[in-house]
Structure 1
Amino acid sequence: MTIDVPQEILDALTDVDMPRLPPEAAPSETVRLADVDVPVYRAGCVIVGSGAAGLRAAVEMKRRGDDVVIVSQSAWGGTSACSGSDKQTLHTANTADQGDNYKAMARAIRSGGAMDEDTAYVEAVGSSRMMASLQFLGLPLPQDPLGGTLRYQTDHDEVGRATSCGPRTSRLMVKVLAEEAIRLGVPFYNQTTAVKILTEGDGANRHVVGMLVMRAGDRTEKNPLGIALFTSDVIVLAAGGPGELYRDSVYPNGCFGSLGLALEAGIELVNLTESQFGIGTRREGFPWNLSGTYVQAMPHIYSVDSEGAEHDFLGEYYRSTRELASNVFRKGYQWPFHATRMLDFGSSLVDLAIYRETAAGRRVFMDFNRNPLPVSGDLPFSLERLDDDVRLYLGKAGADQDMPIDRLKHMNPLAIELYRRYKIDIAAEPLEFAVNNQHMNGGVMVDTWGRSTLRGCYAVGEAAGTHGVTRPGGAALNAGQVFGTRAAEHINASGRAKGAAAKDITATAEAGITDLLGALSTESPFTVKSIRSEVQARMSEKAGIICDQEGVSGALIEARKLNAEIRGKGVAYGRGAEAVRGVQWRHMALASEAVLSALDFFIRNGGGSRGARAICDVEGECLPLAHSGPLQEYRFRKERQAHRQEQIVVRLDGDEIRLSTRQNRAFDESAKSFFERDWPAWLTGRIYDLEADE
């Protein structure tokens, strides 16, 4: 039975209005540094980013009485507020039915390897508290009549721990957290871009003392670039992932993250080889992931060449109509590309086929008004001729309608409604899409409290490199909430953010401003446009889902050359806004070199194919097969099990990228707490390991 959902309910779950920001506080003073009149803002902690993870950290800190502010390049403009999928997933412990085993959940989260075991357990055990607090704030997670949370299966999830508010789940999370932050009186500084972390001390004693930003509101005749100083002993990096790194990307425009910012500050990064790629609509229009019911409705997928001729290209890869349609369906919960799923006519063969079509200059579409066409010589599409897992799912969902658009409307009318908001009617016209970069699983290396290797600097959300090779769909939203809370608890226990920082750091700030201005030049041949074009093309063409040693090594040489030239000649700018972008693209070029360095290191040390990429090799053990024959060009290496037990660490030493490996931190599943024995550690704050910061 199909239940028609009233339009006002559909509207409420797709048009999510964000709260108005409070007025900004004025600077405490203005000082003359490096011939610039620099406004000074003082805080106990500065959080960089206004997404779900950063807001969670701010709310939890403010509740505990800490002095905290949020700086944001564009409030409500990041991935949390602007990205999603058909029914965007929040992955948490399944407390309905017979409940969940946190240790089993932790094993599932870290199952792809290259992930710290203790981090996985922290995310698992923290998920119940996180979900309950979001519901308390008003997040409308769906329930059954007895109060259990409705669940379904998602990527890398065999149990069914996923839940959703619809396509705007993360935006709704941002909304309720932002409303709480505003209610608590957290100051926001919008149109404010972090450009340099300021530190003092040497070696293990080096620590955060503040941050330089560029602010549109602080541009004056005596400060044309809007440089401002935030003095603070604590910084939380929560600015998301490096969305601008790839040309073929489903990130919203303007998402730069903080990898380059962190590298320049000497902070160690980890797992930069690990990303997620999958099918989605291009960022030039409305960027959105095409997972879940978009593909479970089984639309017809085809390409169009430069002369307008259609090509039913998937029929060249799958042996039967049943196999083709069933694997299109499986992209719903096997959405990210994974090299091993190209084997045995699996679901990632769909990604490879789409990748090859776009590389050949063809445009790819899905048509919800046509069922998949029959494979040559086979029977036509039928809901009765599908693999057992597919038929069972559709049967339980009641999705027995004749056409894909009707199956989609029955299973998830919000999926159609969302595109209509952006003047795309998938009920009336085909939808163009491609394989895109979607998420960075690596990032700043942190411990179980979110601490980076720089004292006073924490990282949460996609900025933190906690996810390993694979992760269940929606686990990143959970991780950001759990670690936003953990970082806030640790900062509060340290006492560093009880009040606004009062230390005089003008000498350090002046040196930082001098460095910043030296990296910009009105005469440089390197413009934002030229750097963007070069970096994005190189990353999409040499470091996407298909890689090989020669291509990555060549790309790394070119990336090093670009960064050396940028260091020598700076980045060109005209107006103040262009200077901000110039700094961000300098950071992005550096992040690109770091990713390619890690990937080159991995491949040269025998690294094989896993989550993000297929490492192609003529001597590779794995050969994808297609209906048309073996795909020799895409023969790839197997993953080496030893690499699952370690992570690649990246840091910037002067102008050189340094690489090393470390073993995953272990978690003893047999260890058990005992109340009377362990309570004193909580009462005295020993659980926070504050001695490591002294």
Structure 2
Amino acid sequence: MTNRIPQDILDALTDVDMPRLVPPSELDETIRLDGHVVPVHRCGCVIVGSGAAGLRAAVELKRRGGDVTVISQSAWGGTSACSGSDKQTLHTANTSDQGDDFKAMARAIRAGGAMDEDTAYIEAVGSTRAMASLQYLGLPLPQDALGGTLRYKTDHDETGRATSCGPRTSRLMVKVLAQEAIRLGIPFFNQTTAVKILTEGAGATRHTVGILAIQPRFQTDDNPLGLVAFQSGALILAAGGPGELYRDSVFPNGCFGSLGMALEAGLELVNLTESQFGIGTRREGFPWNLSGTYVQAIPHIYSVDETGTEHHFLADYYRTTQELASNVFRKGYQWPFHATRMLDFRSSLVDLAIFREGQKGRRVFMDFNRNPLPVPGDLPFSLDRLDEDVATYLGTAGADQVQPIDRLRHMNPLAIELYRRYKVDIAADPLEFAVNNQHMNGGIAVDTWGRSNISGIYAVGEAAGTHGVTRPGGSALNAGQVFGTRVAEHLAASGRSAHPADGDITTVISGAVADITSALSTDSPLSYRDVRAEVQARMSDHAGIICTPDAVRNALKAATALNGAIRQNGLGHDRPGQVARVLQWQQMALASEAVLAALNHYIENGGGSRGARAICEPDGDALPQARSGPLDAYRFRSERQADQKEQILVRLDQGRIKVSTRPNRPFDETAKAFFERDWPAWLTGGIYDLQDTPGSTG
């Protein structure tokens, strides 16, 4: 039997219209520099990014009396508003039927290692508050008839803490938070690209005084680059992850993040070795993760070569039809590639097989109108011949339909509707896909209040490096909501953002403008398009799911050489309208070098395969097997347990990338709060650690 959901309900959960922004008031203050007249907007706090995490910080800070301004390259155009999957979820601690509690949830969040234990606990404790407040704002999270939240199991989650509004969960989150931000009168500067963090002081006294951005509507003869300065005593970086870093990416186009800009400002970055890769549709069309019910419907997966011949390539890897079909299903909640799941004929062997087809120049497709073809010599596909966990799931879901498209329609009709909105009818035609980069688990190093190593600068969402090697699916959304709230609480307690900034920062802005103009050249042999092609190819080809020590080492040398050439020659551009993009690619090249430096450090110091990447070498101790025999080219190093206990830090020092390590911050699970003893710290603000020094990330 198929669930019949009225079309108007499907439409409402798929076509999510975003609110219209109110144009900000005109700026009547300017700073005159040599060749530039730069408009200035003063505020207490400027937030870079208009996704779910940035909007949460904006709303919470405004409610606490903060003077807040949001700037965005493209409002409602980022990852949380435009990307995701049918299981992009918000976490909630379970009721006792699953034996869950906050400490158990924290252990699950940090289970892969290289994550601060206190951060994991903060995310667990804050999850119920984040969910409840979103429901209060109107997020339609599903409930049963008695008011309980409907939940399910997702990747790296054996308890079943996830819940979802469907494939547009994160966009719906952005919508309700945006509506609240507009209702509160928070100014938004849209089509505004942050390009330079402004700081004063040195050492322990260094602090932010705002950010310099480019806005085309401010472009005049006196302001040829369209510069605008946002002067503030607090800065929250919430611009998401570096989606443009990879050619093979499921990020929406134009997602640059802020890691390169952060490096230039002297911020420390952490865990840049940790990302997520998995199957998804190509970004040339409509990029989307193919997790959840897309694969739990068990479609037929095949490739096509240059002659148009189909190849049932998964049959070369799995021993039986049952094993093949069951592992395609498991990609639903084991979506991210993980090196260890290439072993013992498990689910990441699917990723490796797809990756290898791509290397052969073949295109890979998912056909929802065909069940998987049999492995040669074995029985045909049957719902009666599936592994126990798969059969139990489909049986409980009532997904006993003959064809994959009917099973998908029964379990998740929104999955079909979503692609149909983008002129792709997966009910009629096969869907092309590949293994793509999806998420940066690392980012700006922050402490338990979201503070960076420079006073007044905070980071939330994917811009912050709060994740470790693995994370339960959907916990990134939760982390952004929890830390968006905590940053707002900390800023409100400090009073730093209560009033618009004052003082004269002409000298700081002048220096920033000089740095920007030095990066630009009309006659440079390098164009930003050249840099884009080189960076994306290098990262996808040598820093994706399969890495070798030599390839990473050589990629780092090439990235370092590229940045040296950029510093020497600048980047060419044809017209002022390209300047923002030029600067973003100059910073993306720097971020690429930082990622490769961290990865090379990890590998050269004996680091093994974990999370996103398999470190392959001839004498590796782990050997994936296929039906056709050992996959010797993909023999890999196993992870060392000791590496799970530390994190890799990266910073820019006089133009050179410096790499170091630090142990994870611990969390004492035996410690207990005591009301009368601990209440005064809350009443007096002692919990906020408000000494006027940069936040300690160690």
Whether TM exceeds 0.5 here: the answer is yes
1:439-462 CA deviation, whole Å, 9 max, x = no partner?
A: 000000000100001110000000
Amino acid paired to 1:286: F
1:27 aligns with 27
1:263 aligns with 263
1:8 aligns with 8
Amino acid paired to 1:240: G
Q: Which piece of structure 1 moves more, 33-42 or 559-568? A: 33-42
Give the Cα–Cα distance (whole angstroms) in 1 for the partners of residues 548 and 99 of structure 2: 44
1:43-62 CA deviation, whole Å, 9 max, x = no partner?
A: 10000000000000000000
| Aligned pairs for 1:511-660 within 5 A | 511-660=511-660
TM-score by length of 1: 0.99
Pair 1:403 & 2:403 matched: yes
Shift of 1:86: 2.1
| Aligned pairs for 1:28-107 within 5 A | 28-95=28-95, 97=97, 100-107=100-107
1:196 aligns with 196
Give the Cα–Cα distance (whole angstroms) in 1 for the partners of residues 316 and 670 of structure 2: 51
Which ranges of structure 1 fall in alignment gaps of 5 or more residues?
A: none
Give the Cα–Cα distance (whole angstroms) in 2 for the partners of residues 234 and 525 of structure 1: 38
1:496-523 CA deviation, whole Å, 9 max, x = no partner?
A: 1110001110011111111111111111
Q: Which piece of structure 1 moves more, 283-292 or 576-585? A: 576-585
Q: SS state of the match for residue 278, structure 2? A: strand
Q: SS state of the match for residue 691, structure 1? A: coil
Amino acid paired to 1:514: A
Shift of 1:148: 0.3
1:147 aligns with 147
1:368 aligns with 368
Pair 1:205 & 2:200 matched: no
Shift of 1:94: 2.0
Shift of 1:576: 2.3
The percentage of counterpart residues that share the same residue type is: 74
CA contact (8 A) 1:92 1:475 kept: no
Q: SS state of the match for residue 289, structure 1? A: coil
CA contact (8 A) 2:22 2:188 kept: yes
CA contact (8 A) 1:341 1:349 kept: yes
Amino acid paired to 2:434: A
Give the Cα–Cα distance (whole angstroms) in 2 for the partners of residues 640 and 43 of structure 1: 47
Amino acid paired to 2:145: P
1:118 aligns with 118
Shift of 1:546: 0.1
1:356 aligns with 356
Give the Cα–Cα distance (whole angstroms) in 2 for the partners of residues 192 and 96 of structure 1: 47
2:248 aligns with 248
Shift of 1:225: 1.1
Give the Cα–Cα distance (whole angstroms) in 1 for the partners of residues 418 and 503 of structure 2: 49
| Aligned pairs for 1:228-307 within 5 A | 228-307=228-307
Give the Cα–Cα distance (whole angstroms) in 1 for the partners of residues 466 and 253 of structure 2: 24
CA contact (8 A) 2:98 2:159 kept: no
Pair 1:459 & 2:459 matched: yes
CA contact (8 A) 2:49 2:238 kept: yes
CA contact (8 A) 1:95 1:148 kept: no
Judging changes above 3 Å, is the alpha-carbon distance between structure 1 residues 463 and 392 closer, same or farther for their aligned structure 2 residues?
same
CA contact (8 A) 1:87 1:415 kept: no
Q: SS state of the match for residue 693, structure 1? A: coil
1:315-338 CA deviation, whole Å, 9 max, x = no partner?
A: 000000000000000000000000
Which ranges of structure 2 fall in alignment gaps of 5 or more residues?
A: none
1:389 aligns with 389
Give the Cα–Cα distance (whole angstroms) in 1 for the partners of residues 692 and 373 of structure 2: 62
CA contact (8 A) 1:49 1:239 kept: yes
Q: SS state of the match for residue 371, structure 1? A: coil
Amino acid paired to 2:245: L
Give the Cα–Cα distance (whole angstroms) in 2 for the partners of residues 283 and 327 of structure 1: 25
CA contact (8 A) 2:455 2:692 kept: no
Runs of 4 or more above 6 Å deviation: none
Shift of 1:217: 1.4
1:221 aligns with 221
Amino acid paired to 2:184: L
Q: SS state of the match for residue 151, structure 1? A: coil
Amino acid paired to 2:65: G
Shift of 1:100: 3.4
Amino acid paired to 1:477: L
Q: SS state of the match for residue 580, structure 1? A: helix
Amino acid paired to 1:49: G
TM-score by length of 2: 0.99
CA contact (8 A) 1:441 1:468 kept: yes
2:184 aligns with 184
Give the Cα–Cα distance (whole angstroms) in 1 for the partners of residues 355 and 260 of structure 2: 29
Give the Cα–Cα distance (whole angstroms) in 1 for the partners of residues 202 and 226 of structure 2: 30
CA contact (8 A) 2:87 2:154 kept: no
Give the Cα–Cα distance (whole angstroms) in 2 for the partners of residues 26 and 502 of structure 1: 19
Give the Cα–Cα distance (whole angstroms) in 1 for the partners of residues 323 and 99 of structure 2: 35
Shift of 1:692: 5.4
RMSD value, Cα: 0.9
2:429 aligns with 429
Amino acid paired to 1:220: T
Give the Cα–Cα distance (whole angstroms) in 2 for the partners of residues 19 and 506 of structure 1: 36
2:333 aligns with 333
Judging changes above 3 Å, is the alpha-carbon distance between structure 1 residues 500 and 287 closer, same or farther for their aligned structure 2 residues?
same
1:469 aligns with 469
1:129-182 CA deviation, whole Å, 9 max, x = no partner?
A: 000000000000000000000000000000000100000000000000000000
Pair 1:479 & 2:479 matched: yes
1:390-438 CA deviation, whole Å, 9 max, x = no partner?
A: 0000000000000000000000000000000000000000000000000
Q: SS state of the match for residue 648, structure 1? A: strand
Q: SS state of the match for residue 690, structure 1? A: coil
1:661 aligns with 661
Give the Cα–Cα distance (whole angstroms) in 1 for the partners of residues 452 and 691 of structure 2: 15
Q: SS state of the match for residue 521, structure 2? A: coil
| Aligned pairs for 1:409-424 within 5 A | 409-424=409-424
Shift of 1:99: 7.2
2:316 aligns with 316
CA contact (8 A) 1:96 1:149 kept: no
Q: SS state of the match for residue 66, structure 1? A: coil
Give the Cα–Cα distance (whole angstroms) in 2 for the partners of residues 334 and 425 of structure 1: 25
CA contact (8 A) 1:96 1:148 kept: no
Give the Cα–Cα distance (whole angstroms) in 1 for the partners of residues 134 and 555 of structure 2: 43
1:652-684 CA deviation, whole Å, 9 max, x = no partner?
A: 001100000000000000000000000000000
1:71-120 CA deviation, whole Å, 9 max, x = no partner?
A: 00000000000001124222221248567300000000000000000000
